[in-house]
């Protein structure tokens, strides 16, 4: 069996996180991805610690499944290889500073002139009209994400991962797949543009919705949810327990499980809106009840009653849990090499396969020149055999 995107060629001129994450997802789905790096390489190779061998784990986490080539776009011969690659590609992904791709004939209009079916994806920090660097932490700051993250009496806080880059990469992948479907129907390629700020505003969902629909500016609530309660961590006799109560029936079961059934009938807490409005009164009552057992003991007892709750694990423990659940969280090549975290998407007919380890610089130059640049533009009758993985 082959992946869903088998036969598609992706020219990846992106670096750091949003673009590489997107193209890794496409590689997982079977596309042949050629990662193009400049002479200095993708800077995330040097973002360490931690490291595995000569590369950072940061770089390794988003670059599996790709062919690798180093091209100096200031060198005419290398620039010609880059343009030839773009001319043959089904998809081009780039995150150059807006306006600079044209220097090398790699902007959308130039690529489209030789490759009218191309799906060309541009990633920027703040749109094509801004040259502000597109770093995730800047997008977290400017989108309002940091303003709603952290304790109410503490400073604005960034998320523990570059979540805006990740969400942007997902948005780019969705846009590319939609554009490929459009191409299948019409024969025409197109330009897909995604920026970090717009992705962050979209990913803030109910928080930005509060402003869009009601003119409300959300504030930091720590681990609390702005609309439902209890929904977050609570101290126990040992460790914190996260409780996630989304409706009145669940709250009644929680109260029964805690041995405080009268709380569910209290007019202050009977409905979700009441619990949210009266959380300052409800919180100490829940904390007192939870103080009788450890988080692990409460998790076992309450989960058995169908009450959504969980202890807080570290990442190592999270991998162990995924293993116990049979989710096989590590992605491995056929040879058994670990190449990161397994794709969360499963397919019944076209399973994900991890074919290549992350590339060392210029590992696949001979392959690219032989299989892509030297080939004719016309694809064979069976597109699944257009490019070998």
Q: Which residues are catalytic?
A: 165
Q: What are the structure tokens assigned to 388, written together?
A: 């070998």
Report the alpha-carbon distance of residue 150 to residue 320 in Å, rounded.
Answer: 28
Report the alpha-carbon distance of residue 194 to residue 215 in Å, rounded.
Answer: 26
Sign of CA dihedral 160, 295, 204, 225: negative
Task: Name the nearest CA neighbour of 33 among 345, 359, 288, 269.
Answer: 359
Residue 30 contacts residue 389 (beta carbons within 8 Å): yes
* Residues β-bridged to residue 70: 37
Instruction: For the chain, list the strands marked E by DSSP.
Output: 9-13, 32-37, 51-52, 55-56, 66-70, 91-94, 119-124, 190-195, 231-235, 240-244, 309-311, 330-332, 338-341
User: 């949810």: which residue's tokens?
Assistant: 225
CB contact set of 384 (below 8 Å; sequence gap of 6+):
2, 6, 7
Task: Name the nearest CA neighbour of 34 among 20, 45, 44, 47.
Answer: 20
CA distances from 109 to 91, 118, 189, 321, 377 (A): 14, 10, 11, 49, 18
């Amino acid at each position: 069996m082959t992946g869903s995107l088998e036969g598609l060629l992706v020219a990846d001129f992106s670096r750091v996180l949003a673009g590489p994450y997107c193209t890794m997802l496409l590689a997982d789905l079977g596309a042949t991805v050629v990662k193009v790096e400049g002479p200095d390489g993708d800077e995330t190779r040097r973002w360490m610690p931690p490291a595995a061998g000569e590369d950072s784990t940061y770089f390794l986490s988003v670059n599996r499944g790709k062919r690798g080539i180093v091209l100096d776009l200031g060198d005419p011969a290398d620039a010609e290889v880059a343009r030839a690659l773009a001319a043959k590609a089904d998809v081009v992904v780039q995150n150059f500073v807006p306006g600079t791709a044209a220097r090398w004939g790699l902007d959308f209009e130039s690529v489209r002139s030789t490759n009218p079916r191309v799906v060309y994806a541009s990633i920027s920090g703040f749109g094509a009209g801004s040259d502000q660097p597109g770093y995730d932490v800047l997008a977290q700051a400017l989108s309002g994400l940091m303003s709603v993250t952290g304790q109410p009496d503490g400073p604005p806080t960034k998320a523990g991962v570059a979540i805006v880059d990740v969400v942007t990469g997902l948005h780019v992948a969705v846009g590319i797949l939609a554009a490929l479907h459009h191409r299948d129907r019409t024969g025409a390629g197109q330009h897909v543009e995604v920026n970090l700020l717009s992705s962050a505003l979209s990913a803030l969902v109910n928080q930005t919705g509060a402003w869009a629909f009601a003119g409300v500016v959300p504030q930091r609530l720590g681990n609390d949810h702005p609309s439902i309660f209890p929904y977050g961590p609570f101290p126990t006799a040992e460790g914190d327990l996260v409780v996630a109560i989304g409706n009145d029936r669940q709250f009644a079961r929680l109260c029964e499980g805690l041995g405080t059934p009268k709380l569910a009938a209290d007019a202050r807490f009977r409905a979700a809106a009441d619990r949210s409005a009266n959380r300052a009164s409800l919180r100490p009552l829940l904390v007192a009840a939870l103080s009788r057992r450890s988080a692990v003991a409460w998790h076992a007892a309450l989960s058995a009653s169908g009450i959504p709750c969980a202890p807080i694990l570290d990442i190592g423990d999270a991998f162990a849990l995924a293993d116990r659940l049979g989710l096989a969280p590590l992605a491995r090549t056929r040879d058994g090499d670990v190449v990161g975290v397994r794709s969360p998407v499963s397919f019944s007919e076209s399973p994900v396969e991890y074919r290549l380890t992350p590339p060392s610089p210029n590992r696949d130059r001979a392959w690219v020149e032989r299989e892509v640049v030297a080939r004719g533009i016309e694809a064979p009758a069976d597109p699944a055999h257009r490019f070998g993985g």
